[in-house]
Amino acid sequence: MADLTTNVAIDNHLTTADGKPLKAALAAAQARNKRRAFFLVLPLLAFILITFIVPIGQMLMRSIDSPGFILQTDVITKEETPLMVNLGLWFKDNPQGTEPDEAAYTALVSDLIALKKTRAQGQAGTRINYELAGSRSLFTSGARKAAKLKPPYKEAMIKLNKKWENPKLWQVMRSASSRYTGSFYLAAVDRTRDANGDIVRVEENRRVYVNLFVRTLRLSLLITFLTFILAYPVAHLLATLPMRKSNMLMILVLLPFWTSLLVRTTSWMILLQSQGVLNDAMVGLGLLDDANRIQLMYNEFGTVIAMTHILLPFMILPLYSVMRPINPSYVRAARSLGATSWTAFRRIYFPQTVPGIGAGALLVFILSVGYYITPALVGGADGTLISNLIAFHMLSSLNWSLAAALASLLLGGILILYWLYDRLVGIDNLKLG
Amino acid sequence: MANIDADAAFVEFDRVQKSYDGEVLVVKDLNLKISKGEFVTMLGPSGSGKTTCLMMLAGFETATHGDILLNGVSINNIPPHKRGIGMVFQSYALFPHMTVGENLSFPLEVRGMVKSEREEKVKRALDMVQMGDFLSRRPAQLSGGQQQRIALARSLVFEPQLVLMDEPLGALDKQLREQMQFEIKRISDDLGITVVYVTHDQTEALTMSDRVAVFEDGRIQQLAPPNDLYERPDNSFVAQFIGENNKLSGTIKSMDGDIVAVELANGKTMQALAVNVGAVGAKTLVSIRPERITVGSNDGPNATEAQVLELIYLGDHIRCRLNVHGDEEFVVKVPNSAGHQHLVVGETTNVSWDPRDARALDPL
């Protein structure tokens, strides 16, 4: 007993038999195992770093780093040539809101001539075009004709194209002449800077992204709810049936999982289109007039139906894994204690499945927020989600910075929801299987 | 001891049969009457139908045929939550997401009891099992024995007349199990409740029960108080299942009142009490308890030679395996008392037993 007390008192200075500090000895004994464990996970770590962390970092960078107006990078030599140097100096000397004077136009013309030499007029124009449509051609034609212009350059330029006078253009050029910009994030929430540099909403007919974010959120919540309603009884059935039967049913749940996503989506197209199986059946049964076939696809309805079906297993499996180990004697105990079957379900069974509901809902919600193929195929104009627009900017408009900004906002939103979930339900209550 | 009277039966199984698949009867023609305040144990090997009987009584299984009566009323069509029967499960079935207090107050809540009354009853029930300090703990924070006590308190908190216990001590270690046996017995006596207890542990059945129903193959083989069951088994199954037992098989040669002469396989004859035998010439199995055999005695009609094959020292007694009448599994317990006979492996000695301690039963 006395020994024990002394030991506790000098807890920090315990030593091994030969006088080494105990902690150091323990660390040395475990070091070898730790090294081996580390080498085992090293390939995975490298894989994640290269294929996940680095691309995400690049994406995040690209959404704020857009040097197209001030730097030209040679594709092969990686050599960087500064562009629009004179205009950049003018912007530095004159604060926001200064009326462009002759000096400004002189700088612009000299820069345009330089652009022509390095053949960078397209690149610089594109960067301006992101924020002010129609600017690319202005730059290409401007660069072509700049060498022939005579002073005073202000008059000459405006004569060449009246757009050069546009204060908005000058505002955009000013913002583009610094390498890092938040303007893509502004664009991603339907905001822009006016000629004075104040943040304003874009014209009504160009407000797309906020609506799409809201729709994505709304549809994802709806799909999550629908999968929950459909999956709960199925998971319960799977968990309570005898093993042999439940395995059979489980195959039915997993079968769509093993089928290509594209095949599943196109089969929904076959079912839902206006000349499709469902409409034909309803017309055949006389429920529907041939002339008034219902539009089941290329709208929100189609997106919701197809995605609910496709994401259903992601809800069933976590629910099943939580329900399977719930001992039937809990409900029996509740019943014997006087609870009706509904009370026993509500007070005893359901609370024990909450971790599964949380996991399934989080899984389905996060998947559907970023879903691409299905809304692209069956969504039409009303049923597309934000990911479709991100893809559009990646593949068609080639405005990668905007795509990156949209994707970053999406990522941020999901992280916030994840944080909220952790605060409300607790992440340790999550059970994926 | 409760008096068994047809009219006073509190719980009654009346020709109850049960089949799960329509091919095999799990319970075959069960008739059982339990009077108020009685502690009845259903004892039997696994698969003998005892748990099924309990589940039918609780209402989780329906009887395929026959009636189950509670207080003279058929409860076949009453759902479990209206039967008012307390139940303790082998897995305890304490609700993991509720505290001990919430677990106990659950049956009172669903009965619409007001909060103050609930709290008082919960406290009283917890004190009864000496767990008053554990009100706000979660089941996962309790040891097995503590969970068992809470499960017991929960089954009693709403003051049921009848409590069913399905192997409630199966998951506990030996010492705790013995302690809980006494506790359950004490509480059930104090409250005067009727208990139907299911177990496969014969010691548990013998120590706790007023009466024990030995189940085998869907039937009650014998329903009797513990001492009768041990000392006067009705048939070979009960004799074998309860306690240790020496078996000698033979043929009935003659009958004289309730004493029969049995001719054994080696041609020798012995006398036994006729309990469950056929006519002269029928096969029988004679059962003798190891502690009823006297070693070194040459008296009585059943004295015979025995060769010592094995000795096992067990402290309070010595277990001797002998060859008696050609049976090499014949076991005798020699008490380790002052001046007891010291046997040596390989020696030949004499053993004898009273004809009334040798029970001639049905052949296996």
Is 50 exceeded by the pLDDT of residue B1?
no
Which residues of B fall within a CB distance of 8 Å from A327? 91, 93
B21 touches A at CB < 8 Å = no
CB pairs under 8 A between A and B: 67
Specify the amino acid at residue B292.
R
CA distance B269 to B302: 8
CA distance A220 to A223: 5
CB contact under 8 A, B91 and A339: no
Q: Which of A64-68, B5-9, B148-152 has the lowest mean pLDDT?
A: B5-9
Q: What would be the CATH architecture of the domain defined by A209-429?
A: Orthogonal Bundle (1.10)
Band of residue A430 on the pLDDT scale cut at 50, 70, 90:
low
Q: pLDDT digit string (tens) for B24-51?
A: 899 998 999 999 999 999 999 888 889 9
Q: Residue A60 corresponds to which tokens in the numbers above?
A: 């995040």
Band of residue B317 on the pLDDT scale cut at 50, 70, 90:
confident
Q: How far is CA B85 from CA A43, B122, B196, B330, B348, in A?
A: 60, 18, 11, 46, 59
H or E segment at A171? helix A167-176
CA distance B194 to B33: 12
H or E segment at A418? helix A400-424
Give the contacts of A71 (CB within 8 A, at least 6 positions apart).
Answer: A80, A81, A82, A83, A179
Q: pLDDT digit string (tens) for B167-217?
A: 998 888 888 888 889 999 999 999 999 999 999 888 899 999 999 999 998
Cβ-nearest to B93 among A330, A338, A343: A330
Which residues of B fall within a CB distance of 8 Å from A340? 79, 81, 110
Name the residue ranges covered by the structural domains of chain A. 14-64, 71-206, 209-429
Give the contacts of B289 (CB within 8 A, at least 6 positions apart).
Answer: B230, B231, B243, B244, B245, B246, B357
Distance of CA A242 to the CA centre of its chain: 41
Name the residue ranges covered by the structural domains of chain B. 6-236, 244-361
Residue A153: what pLDDT?
Answer: 85
Which residues of B fall within a CB distance of 8 Å from A336? 58-59, 80-81, 83, 85-87, 155, 164
Q: Smallest CA–CA separation between A336 and chain B, in Å?
A: 5
CA distance B38 to B193: 7
Residue A182: what pLDDT?
Answer: 85
Band of residue A3 on the pLDDT scale cut at 50, 70, 90:
very low
Strand B194-199 relative to strand B162-166: parallel, antiparallel, unpaired? parallel
Partners of A161 in the β-ladder = none
CB contact under 8 A, B89 and A348: no
Four-point Cα dihedral B230, B234, B238, B242, nearest 10: 0
CB contact under 8 A, A337 and B93: no
- Could you give phi then psi for residue B306, rounded to 5 degrees? -145, 135
CA distance B312 to A338: 53
Residue A8: what pLDDT?
Answer: 45
Q: Smallest CA–CA separation between A232 and chain B, in Å?
A: 20
B111 touches A at CB < 8 Å = yes
Mutating which of A240, A330, A332, A337 best tests the B interface, going by the most B Cβ atoms within 10 A? A337
Q: How far is CA B89 from CA A318, B170, B171, in A?
A: 28, 10, 11
**Arithmetic mean of pLDDT, B59-69:** 91
Per the document, the length of chain B is: 364
- Could you give phi then psi for residue B194, rounded to 5 degrees? -90, 135
CA distance A378 to A309: 13
Which residues of B fall within a CB distance of 8 Å from A330? 93, 95
A329 touches B at CB < 8 Å = yes
CB contact under 8 A, A333 and B95: yes
Band of residue B226 on the pLDDT scale cut at 50, 70, 90:
very high
Question: How high does pLDDT run on average in chain B?
Answer: 89
The fold for domain B244-361 equals OB fold (Dihydrolipoamide Acetyltransferase, E2P) (2.40.50)
CB contact under 8 A, B81 and A329: no
CA distance A158 to A358: 62
Cβ-nearest to B89 among A329, A338, A347: A329
For residue B355, whether the previous peptide bond is cis, meaning omega lies within 30 degrees of 0, is no
CB contact under 8 A, B111 and A343: no
Is 90 exceeded by the pLDDT of residue B106?
yes
CA distance A301 to A309: 12
Residue B197: what pLDDT?
Answer: 95
3-state secondary structure chain B: CCCCCHHHEEEEEEEEEEECCCCCEEEEEEEEEEECCCEEEEECCCCCCHHHHHHHHHCCCCCCEEEEEECCEECCCCCHHHCCEEEECCCCCCCCCCCHHHHHHHHHHCCCCCHHHHHHHHHHHHHHCCCHHHCCCCHHHCCHHHHHHHHHHHHHCCCCCEEEEECCCCCCCHHHHHHHHHHHHHHHHHHCCEEEEEECCHHHHHHHCCEEEEEECCEEEEEECHHHHHHCCCCHHHHHHCCCCEEEEEEEEEEECCEEEEEECCCCEEEEEECCCCCCCCEEEEEECHHHCEECCCCCCCCEEEEEEEEEECCCEEEEEEEECCEEEEEEEEECCCCCCCCCCCCEEEEECCHHHEEEECCC
The fold for domain B6-236 equals Rossmann fold (3.40.50)
Residue A433: what pLDDT?
Answer: 54
Residue B7: what pLDDT?
Answer: 53
Q: Smallest CA–CA separation between B219 and chain A, in Å?
A: 25
ipTM of the complex in this document? 0.81
B182 touches A at CB < 8 Å = no
Residue A214: what pLDDT?
Answer: 93
Residue B171: what pLDDT?
Answer: 80
Q: Residue B89 corresponds to which tokens in the numbers above?
A: 């499960």
